[in-house]
Amino acid sequence: MNNSTQQLSLLVINSAQLEGDSQVQHYFGPEGGTLGASDQDDWQLRESLGSVLPGHARIDLIDGHFCLHDQSGQTFINGSGSPVGGDRHVRLSAGDELTVGPFQIRVSLGQGQHTPALDELMDNRPARDMDTWLEDTQHDAGTTHTVTKAPRQDDPLGALQQDSHRVSSLVTGRMPQSGASEQTGELSGGKETVNQAFIELPDVGRTGLTQDEGMAAALETVMSGMGGNLAVAGVSGAAEMLFDMGRTLRALVEGLLALQAEQGALADKLLRPIEDNPLRLGLDYHDTLSLLFAEGQSPVHLSAPAAVAELLSNIRLQHAASQKATSVALHSVLQAFSPEGLLARFSHYRRGGQGENAGWEWDMYQHYFRELTSSRQQGFEKLFRQVYAQAYDRAVREGLESL
C-alpha cells in the first residue's frame, strides 16, 4: 500500500448526537491518532452523557493496515456485545462500524473515499439520479420558452438548480454545461405559470431495516447482553419476548428499590463522599430508570450492571451479618436462662426463711417466668436487641473490610 492510499476515513452516522465543534468526519493518515472527548485527541467527539472518554481509542498503522486500539476498553465493533479490549489491536476493514459511546461510526479506506458525505446527505442516492431529476424539472414534452426576467437571488428553485451542477461536478468530475444558469427560468409551453418559490421534492427511497429485521436485531442485542441464545418463533414471538423482558426488568428494579429501602442499618455503615449508586438514592422507579439507562445518566454514577451487582453484594452481606448476629444474640439469651445463672439470681431474692423447702427453686422459676412475660417487663427484648445490634454491626464492618 503506497502513501497516497494510506488513509482511513471515520464518519459518524448518527451525527445528531454530536455537540460543540465536533466534526462529523475525520481522516487518519499513516501517523494514526486518537479519538475521544479531550482537547488533545486528534478527533474530538463531544456529547452530553460523558460516555466518550479522553483518548477513548487510537488508530495505528501496523504492517500496512489500519488497526484499532481500544484504549478505554469501551469500544465496540460491528454490533458485538463485548468491547474490543485494551490489550489488543483489531484490523479495520471498509464497511466496519464502530460504537464509541452513543456514536455509530463507519469505516472507509483509501483516498477514493474522501467525499462520501454527499451520499449520506442524499440518503445514499447516486448523484447522477439527482442530476436526472433536476434536468426533468427544466424540460417538458412541449416547447420550452425562456423567461427574460432575471432570476431572483432568493429563488429556491434557481439556487437548487445552480448548486446541483456544482455538486455533481465535484462528485462526478463533469463540468457544468454552459448556459445552465440561463435554463433556470424555462417553463413548459402550454402550461400555467407555476410559483417557483415552492417545489415538490422527489421521493428519495430510504435504505433502512424492515420491521422484522429491526425486531430481530433488537432481540439479538438483548440476548448478547444476557449472554444467552434463545430460539424465537417469528416476529410476533420476538415482540412478546422483548415485552416480557421489559416487564421482568421493571419487577427486578422495583424489587431492588424495595429491598434497599429496608437496609437502613446497612446504609449507615456505607459511608462515602457521594452516593454513586442510582439504586441507593431513594428515588422512585421512573427516576431511577432514567439514571440507570437514559438521559439522566451521570459520569459519576455506577453503570446499570455495576449498580445492580453492588446492591446484590450488599444484600448478601446484610443476610450473612443478620444470621451471625441472630446466633450470637440467641446464645446470650440461653446463657441468661442457664440453671446456674438462675439459681445464682434467685439466691438474691430470699427473704427470711425462704428456700428451705424442696420445691423452692421451681416456685421461684414460675414467679420469674410470669414476671418475664408480663406487660411491664421489656428486659428480654432489650437483651436480644442489644446483643443482636452489637453483633450485627461487628459482622457488617468485618464484611465491608473483606470486600
Closest Cα partner for 200 from 100, 247, 133? 133
Coil, helix or strand at residue 361 = helix
**Strands 43-44, 33-36: pairing kind:** parallel
Pair 124, 107 in one domain: no
Per DSSP, what are the bridge partners of residue 33?
59
From 10-14, 111-115, 183-187, the region with the lowest mean pLDDT: 183-187
At which of 188, 222, 250 does a domain end? 188
- The predicted pLDDT at position 252 comes to 93
Q: Cite the beta strand spans of 127-276 per DSSP E.
A: 144-145, 187-188
Per-residue model confidence (pLDDT) at position 182: 42
pLDDT value at 296 more than 90: no
Residue 151 has pLDDT above 60, yes or no: no
Length of the chain: 403
| The pLDDT of residue 173 | 46
Instruction: Tell which of 188, 223, 242 closes a domain.
Output: 188
Which residues, 6+ apart, have CB-to-CB distance to 160 below 8 Å?
A: 134, 199
Q: Distance between CA atoms of 59 and 35, rounded to whole angstroms?
A: 8
The verdict on 135 and 170 lying in the same domain is yes
| Average pLDDT score over the chain | 75
Other C-beta atoms within 10 Å of 120: how many?
15
Same domain, 63 and 129: no
Range with the lowest mean pLDDT among 52-56, 163-167, 230-234?
163-167
User: Does any domain span residue 354?
Assistant: yes
pLDDT in tens, 101-126: 889 999 998 754 444 444 444 444 44
**Pairing relation of β-strands 65-69 and 89-91?**
antiparallel
Question: Phi/psi class of residue 32: alpha, beta or left (left: φ > 0; alpha: ψ in -120 to 50)?
Answer: left
Report yes or no on 170 lying in a domain. yes
Is residue 53 exposed (0-12), middle (13-18) or buried (19+ Cβ within 10 Å)?
buried
Tell me if 68 is assigned to some domain.
yes
In a domain, 277, yes or no: no
What CATH number does the domain containing 87 carry? 2.60.200.20
Mean pLDDT, to the nearest integer, of 364-387?
A: 86
105 located within any domain: yes
Domain membership flag for residue 3 = no
In a 13 Å sphere around the CA of 215, the CA atoms on its Cβ side amount to 15
Examine the domain organization and report whether 182 and 215 are in the same domain: no
- Calpha distance 367→290 (Å, rounded): 61
Considering only residues 196 and 227, tell me which one the structure prediction assigns the higher pLDDT. 227
Q: Give me the percent of the chain exceeding a pLDDT of 70.
A: 69
Report yes or no: 354 and 347 within 8 Å, Cβ to Cβ. Answer: no
Same domain, yes or no: 28 and 74: yes
Q: The whole model's pTM is what?
A: 0.44
Find the domain containing 105 and state its range.
8-114
Are 258 and 325 found together in one domain?
no
Q: How many domains does the chain have?
A: 4
pLDDT band with cut points at 50, 70 and 90 for residue 61:
very high
Are residues 16 and 101 both part of a single domain? yes
> What average pLDDT does this structure show over 298-325?
89
Are 165 and 216 part of one and the same domain? no
Instruction: Give me the pLDDT at residue 196, please.
Output: 42
What is the structure's pLDDT at 202?
46
**Is 298 domain-assigned?**
no
- Kindly state whether residues 175 and 241 are assigned to the same domain: no
pLDDT number for residue 266 = 57
Same domain, 54 and 147: no
For helices 304-336 and 285-293, the axis angle rounded to 10 degrees is 130
Stretch 265-291: mean pLDDT: 81
Over residues 337-363, mean pLDDT: 78
Do 73 and 93 fall into the same domain? yes
pLDDT score of 280: 87
C-alpha cell at 193: 405559470
Question: What was the pLDDT predicted at 349?
Answer: 80
Cβ contacts of 270 within 8 Å, gap of 6 or more: 314, 400
Q: Of 224, 120, 127, 119, which Cα lies nearest the Cα of 168?
A: 127
Coil/strand/helix, residue 211: helix
Considering only residues 371 and 269, tell me which one the structure prediction assigns the higher pLDDT: 371
- The answer to the question of residue 384 being in a domain is yes
**Gap between the Cα atoms of 388 and 6, Å rounded:** 71
Q: Check if the beta carbon of residue 57 is closer than 8 Å to that of residue 73.
A: no
Q: Could you say which of 88, 114, 140 is where a domain stops?
A: 114
Q: Which of 80-94, 174-188, 241-255, 380-394 is predicted with the least confidence, judged by mean pLDDT?
A: 174-188
How do residues 154-169 score in pLDDT, each as one tens digit?
Answer: 444 444 444 444 444 4
One domain for residues 59 and 82:
yes
CB 216 within 8 A of CB 238: yes
